[in-house]
Amino acid sequence: MASLFNQSLARARYGNCGVWISGKQEGLAPTHFAMRIATPTASAFLPEKHDLTSLREAAQHCEGCPLYANATQTVFGAGPARAEVMMVGEQPGDVEDRQGKPFVGPAGRLLDQLLEEAGIPRQLVYVTNAVKHFKWTSRGKRRLHSKPNSREIFACRPWLEAELEAIKPEILVLMGATAAQSLLGLQFRITKQRGQPFESDWAPWTMATYHPSALLRAIHQPGEEQLRRNFLDDLQLVAEKLAELK
Ligand code: URA
Ligand code: SF4
């Protein structure tokens, strides 16, 4: 049946990424098929030219994973093309999805405040996300953030890599486990390794820290002050490194 075949195609495209599938097309010629389905990613949607404007435009049409289907638009990174500092979050939230810009909702406002407190001029920073579409589940009228899985993070990485190659930041700050997982692998632990700069494949000075949403979730909780202090300490290191570059 056609519908059965479509289902298995959909599974092949998104569900069983990178595995062998085999089956029989019922109702059509009785051909058995077996093929290796390449893991779908954003790479097929990357433009020829990799300047930020071309990338941003092309990303609007990305269907490299299923997340585009339920989101309003692609939320690409924003900031100066020659930024010395690049900060990577997880994925756009509800407000970002509607406005099409990263970190303009509650987490973004908190980040702006903390950057200011640490003395890092916001306009020098390019901000982006590991995953460029908002993933959510509905709770009544609200759209609740839902964590991207490792297939989605992997699928979206070509955009992040292209941004890194276009900007070539001196300082790279990965905020939260998703950003760290995307660029440093699954074994990286924010809790153990945050606040420790190192040289990575992506930037001469790379550091992971908390995601600002972790601070939002901690408001009025016992660990709130400590979390905020740690985050500010980490941003202080960024500010010092930035001053060194001047
Ligand atoms: N959280 C993120 O990780 N990114 C945004 O752009 C907004 C909230
Ligand atoms: Fe493409 Fe990333 Fe959106 Fe998936 S989340 S459709 S890979 S831009």
Residues having CB within 6 Å of any atom of ligand 2: 42, 59, 62-65, 67-68, 74, 131-133, 152, 155-156, 159
Instruction: Tell whether the model's pLDDT for residue 45 goes beyond 80.
Output: yes
**For 151-184, what is each residue's pLDDT tens digit?**
999 999 999 999 999 999 999 999 999 999 999 9
**For 67-78, what is each residue's pLDDT tens digit?**
999 999 999 999
Q: Which CATH architecture has domain 42-245?
A: 3-Layer(aba) Sandwich (3.40)
Q: Which of 159, 140, 241 is nearest to 196 (CA)?
A: 241
Q: How many beta carbons lie within 10 A of that of residue 175, not counting itself?
A: 29
**CATH 3.40.470.10 domain position(s) in the chain:** 42-245
Query: pTM value?
Result: 0.86
Q: Which of 62, 64, 69, 73 is nearest to 40 (CA)?
A: 64
Pocket test for ligand 2, best of 152, 154, 161 (most atoms within 8 A of CB): 152
Say if CB 147 and CB 183 are below 8 A apart.
Answer: no
d(CA 219, CA 225): 9
Going by C-beta distance under 8 Å and a sequence separation of 6 or more, which residues neighbour residue 40? 13, 14, 17, 64, 65, 155
